[in-house]
Structure 1
């Protein structure tokens, strides 16, 4: 098969696989809300919802999930202005320095807060809070919806009749094939992630999928670390021998003094200093300067969690709702990164991608 036909087959195959996981969206800088499902009958009383955060509610990932939840509920008629929604919240504020004993104590505080509020549904954000709070909650009649779960629910003790939720499992094969087509290189690429418990879980699964696919032309090379200085050396020196970097996670990095490097700092530094193009599995990476990827968004996870919660509030048993991925994920491209790396994008990608235009990532200001 000659080069022209090989590229055509690769693009068609990739777009078919993308179509199964994401829907077409306009080229725009701002996220757009998902199409709402058919509205359910409005409850005869306000919906009482309780959110449990792993990290600070002000963290970008927490905020995006929360926004997806609240906007979805508003489209279904539940909001604060008409008194159709009542919201309780509790944050574990977990950091890399949080000791297991402290986490157990925080989990009990969360349990008490939930019991005091007596919500219709509890939504628990991210892995740490899910595995700390849900298994120790004593009442199996209280419905829980986890959201943004990277690990296996059974491994976390979440296989309970009152629990369902939204999984956060990325699409590494599709993104790697996309990167190979855009860079026109098929030798090797670096799979880079952090060594935190959650980070290790997700990058191990990503790498397993990559090496299990015998049709993948390029060779993935796994690199994991929790040390910031080692991370910097991997990016600055070792990555130069790779075709591109597949960036998985960067939440558990620490400097020599044991201080945690913020997600934003780690991402921006990596994008600014990488000697080869970076492709990401989450939309925030492309937004900040990665070339692109078939991306997960926290907003869409919030949308799915809200829809599940409404079905439960209407009488559905959590056990009847299978844990699932968000219904909608997005193909992302960053035109500024494409221009920086002097890459050429197949026209077929441009018709389905959400477009960003930020590169390099700014060092100041928040999202």
Structure 2
């Protein structure tokens, strides 16, 4: 009997060890959002099968702001029930609403996709929290467009939705200015909430004197019935109807029947960087010893069909650095 009990305990030990290494990902957005799909792939590629990744999606892209606190509370209850060894917070809403609470609970936490300034959120005062900053290279992206379009590029229209993530990204990258000069290029940055406003700005871009369009975030635009638009529908309409070449800041906006390309951020790289920090902490490192870091300097991603449609060619010196969607 004693031998049987010992054998049973030995058989249960691996399962208990796996249970102890459960990690919880709290997503600000939802599984259908291409950014989430990309960084989740990056997380899995680094974490491997030895760490089970539980997930809770707050869905803040589609839910009104007044419901975000309730979704954060639901995420907190899921955390208490699942008892993970470490939590990964993805994007600004989850970080802003849950990082401090998790730190006070005593749970190591890694964030990713943070557009906001960590100091403004008080993250540097949380010893159990570290993570990965998302720093879209808006100004550098515009400089790269100059290399592609040459002296013809004088004015750029930059469009974002009215989501808090867009507002934070604009504040951090453009000092909250809606007109920005990048070398010889003048950039006008607009946030819009309604799809019909977006359509009007895109349709009138050429007659307003713009030479190129850069698509920012567009996933919270609302239709005439105040319903959140499908992001892929917005992107496809924009690519089809823009009278000027459309470029992008993020990888999920690039491809056939999408934006032409640009110097973009990849969600997968964010996930890989966050997973690396999580593995260091699971191996014994203190989160306070791991300084929050930017994941990358951006990568060139372009669509061959998009370039051909607009009769554009990349400079020779860029060709060996480019990733292609097709």
Name the CA distance, whole Å, in 2 between partners of 1:49 and 1:97.
25
Q: Are 1:153 and 2:96 an aligned pair?
A: no
Secondary structure in 2 matching 1:287: coil
Contact preservation (8 Å) 1:239, 1:245? no
Bigger mean CA deviation after superposition, 344-353 or 128-137:
128-137
Aligned length: 305
Contact preservation (8 Å) 2:117, 2:172? no
Contact preservation (8 Å) 2:137, 2:298? no
2:133 to 162, 167, 187: 167
Give the aligned partner of residue 92 of structure 1. 58
Contact preservation (8 Å) 1:300, 1:328? no
Is there any run of 5+ residues in structure 1 with no aligned partner, and where?
1-43, 358-367
**Cα distance, 1:62 vs. partner?**
1.4
Q: Are 1:178 and 2:152 an aligned pair?
A: no
TM-score by length of 1: 0.77
Name the CA distance, whole Å, in 2 between partners of 1:131 and 1:343.
41
1:326 to 270, 280, 295: 295
Name the CA distance, whole Å, in 2 between partners of 1:62 and 1:224.
22
Bigger mean CA deviation after superposition, 264-273 or 109-118:
109-118
Is there any run of 5+ residues in structure 2 with no aligned partner, and where?
1-15
Give the aligned partner of residue 229 of structure 1. 196
Bigger mean CA deviation after superposition, 265-274 or 226-235:
265-274
Q: Give 1:22-101 correspondences, 5 Å limit.
A: 45-46=17-18, 47-74=21-48, 79=49, 84-100=50-66
Name the CA distance, whole Å, in 2 between partners of 1:321 and 1:212.
36
Give the aligned partner of residue 210 of structure 2. 242
**Cα distance, 1:309 vs. partner?**
0.1
Name the CA distance, whole Å, in 2 between partners of 1:138 and 1:324.
19
Give the aligned partner of residue 265 of structure 1. 233
Give the aligned partner of residue 286 of structure 1. 254
Contact preservation (8 Å) 1:191, 1:248? yes
Structure whose residues are more often helix by fraction = 2
Change (3 A) 1:313 1:130: same
Instruction: Quote the RMSD (CA, aligned, Å).
Output: 2.3
**Cα distance, 1:257 vs. partner?**
1.6
